[in-house]
Structure 1
Amino acid sequence: MAKLFYLSGLTAALFLAGCQAVNTTSGGAVGVDRQQYMFSMLSTSEVNQMYAQSYQQTLSEASQKGVLDKSSANARRVDAIAKRLIAQAPVFRPDAAQWAWDVNLIDNDDLNANCGPGGKIIVYSGLIEKLNLTDDELAAVMGHEIAHALREHSREAMSKAYGVQMASQIGSVLGVGQAGLGMANAGVEYLMTLPNSRGNENEADLIGLELAARAGYNPNASISLWQKMSKAGGGAPPEFMSTHPSSSTRMASLQAAIPKVMPLYEQAKGR
């Protein structure tokens, strides 16, 4: 047991030693200002390039299957909303103005959307159609996903994984067996990865809320969106064991932040 505690501590030490403390975005009106730790040998450009290759492969496969939607009314909606949200991204990080942003709609029943590193956005038609999303609600989803990219949550997760891998390799040398390594890795995951992942989701909710408000989309739509998502999702695992906040926790956090961004929404409407 002592070795397991030592290994967990070693993982944290290696993680911090190999990382740089950064803050990828400004806090904005919602006040997201958590300091992040990024593995120094894993640059933003490298992560963006890796994801761009995967993104292009996804689009290529969708095109071959005839499900890459470039011309429907929903495709036009997604494109228009993306342009308004992307225009606000430099408020949180100025270099986002130079990103090679791209947005696509895939005809698929999944209730899903994502924005990968470097601003590569995919929305699945099932999300729009099954939930009957309004433009405001769709902007809330897309703003949330864009926020993940702005905060470089993928690079942050990869940095943590590197720390676990380094400690596992050293643990093998120290004589900690595979079962012990598995327990240590699980402990590290729950102590480091999962809580931060829930925190990352909350950060994306808040920054996405502000992006949508600045783009002229009603912040209250974030509540109706998650109400729809909650009904569609049915039962959920206990929040402590999940990488995502429960719907009630998520909506409470958003509700508390709406007054902070409502003036931005009113200002945007007046333009």
Structure 2
Amino acid sequence: MNKNIVAAIAIAVTLTGCKTSPTGRTQIALYSEQQMDEMGVASFEQMKQEQTIEQNVKTNRYVQCIADALIAQLPAQYAQQQWEVVVFKEPSANAFALPGGKIGVHTGLLNVAKDQHQLAAVMGHEVGHVIAQHANERVSQNSLLQVGLQAGNAALEMGNVQYRNAIMQGLGLGAQYGVMLPFSRSHESEADVIGLELMAKAGFNPQGAVELWQNMDKAGGERPAEFLSTHPSPENRIALLQSKMTQANSQAAEAKRQGRNPACK
């Protein structure tokens, strides 16, 4: 039984093949873009039903202005998509983007992202998750992980191993802290890089990304150790962004030469 399960894992990975992310990282995606779009659209519709939507015209116009500037610089398959941008009346400093062309921004984020450049950094980061197909990777990885744990459980049952439950719990924790969370941190770092390039090409000031995370650091309070977190520490995020700043500044300067100079207020 366990051999069959392991073989199934190998066949699934072989059939899907490997994809390459925008930064050149190898990734596995078991689901089609259509399937992911359907998931994203369904989730967004549910959020709109369950959460309060901000009705302030100026706020919505401001967020839409930034989104339009960023979307115009996306790869063609995404730039041509019909994007929906919704501001949710929610105090947490958060934003998200979903497959299917959906962007959500919480009003609480506007208290931390002080200007268009800082908000563009967050929104660019979130759209970066979409164009890098991170949701597909995460769902695919979770599917493979569950199959792997089932295979381990089957092997232990066949071998009549003592303390099977304790061992399986240990395997589960090891998978979470050794696979799922670090993988999520790699997504966050990749989205930071993609978002920085995107905001620069749109004509926003790349330094806004560093300022944003400095603000987030001040507002964050106590945080778990990085190895127990799904996100890199603000210090590490800032260091990564600063290492890419020379190229980003050049891209922003070129954007301005081509007339891309957002003025979202």
TM over 0.5: yes
Match of 2:104 among 116, 122, 132: 122
For 2:151 and 2:253, the matched residues in 1 are separated by: 55
The one of 115, 134, 150 aligned to 2:115: 134
Residues 1:258 and 2:245 are matched in the alignment: yes
AA matched with 1:47: M
Q: How far is the alpha carbon of 1:192 from its aligned partner?
A: 2.3
Single out whichever of 144-153 and 67-76 deviates more from structure 2: 67-76
For the Cα contact (< 8 Å) 1:14–1:166, is it kept in 2?
no
Offset from partner CA, 1:182-208 (integer Å, 9 cap, x none): 221222223322222111111100100
Task: Give the match for residue 161 of structure 1.
Answer: 142
Look up the SS of the partner of 2:212 in the other structure. helix
Aligned pair count reads 248
SS of the equivalent of 1:175 reads helix
SS at match of 1:115: strand
Per the alignment, residue 48 of structure 1 pairs with 37
Match of 2:64 among 69, 72, 79: 79
Instruction: Report deviation, 1:55.
Output: 0.5
Query: Counterparts of 1:178 and 1:189 in 2: how far apart (Å)?
Result: 17
Q: Point out where structure 2 has 5 or more consecutive residues left out of the alignment.
A: 158-163, 260-265
Deviations 1:154-183 (A, max 9, x none): 110111111111122223322353332222
Q: Residue deviations 1:95-124, cap 9 Å, x none? A: 213433111101111111000122210000
Specify the code of the residue in structure 1 equivalent to 2:72. A
SS of aligned partner of 1:142 = helix
Computed over aligned residues only, the root mean square deviation of the Cα atoms, in angstroms, reads 2.2
Are residues 1:104 and 2:86 paired?
Answer: yes
Which has the larger displacement, 220-229 or 99-108? 99-108
Cα distance in structure 2, aligned partners of 1:15 and 1:231:
44
Deviation at 1:54, TM superposition (A): 1.2
CA distance in 2, matches of 1:210, 1:118: 22
TM-score, scaled relative to structure 2? 0.86
Aligned match for 2:225, one of 211, 228, 238: 238
AA at the equivalent of 1:185 = G
Tell me the equivalent position of 2:47: 58
- Contact kept? 2:113, 2:212, Cα under 8 Å: no
Residue 27 of structure 2 corresponds to residue 36 of structure 1? yes
2:190 aligned with 1:190: no
Give, in whole Å, the separation in 2 of the partners of 1:17 and 1:184. Answer: 25
Segments of structure 1 that go 5 or more residues without pairing to the other structure are 1-5, 26-31
| Comparing 157-166 and 181-190, the one that deviates more | 181-190
Specify whether residues 249 and 204 from structure 1 end up closer, same or farther in structure 2 by C-alpha distance, changes over 3 A only: same
Q: Which piece of structure 1 moves more, 189-198 or 232-241?
A: 189-198
Confirm or deny: 8 A CA contact 2:9 2:147 kept in the other structure: no
Give the alignment's TM-score, normalised by structure 1.
0.85
Asked whether 1:225 is paired with 2:212, we answer yes
Structure 1 runs of 4+ aligned residues shifted over 3 Å read 9-19
Equivalent-residue separation in structure 2 for 1:23 and 1:209 (angstroms): 19
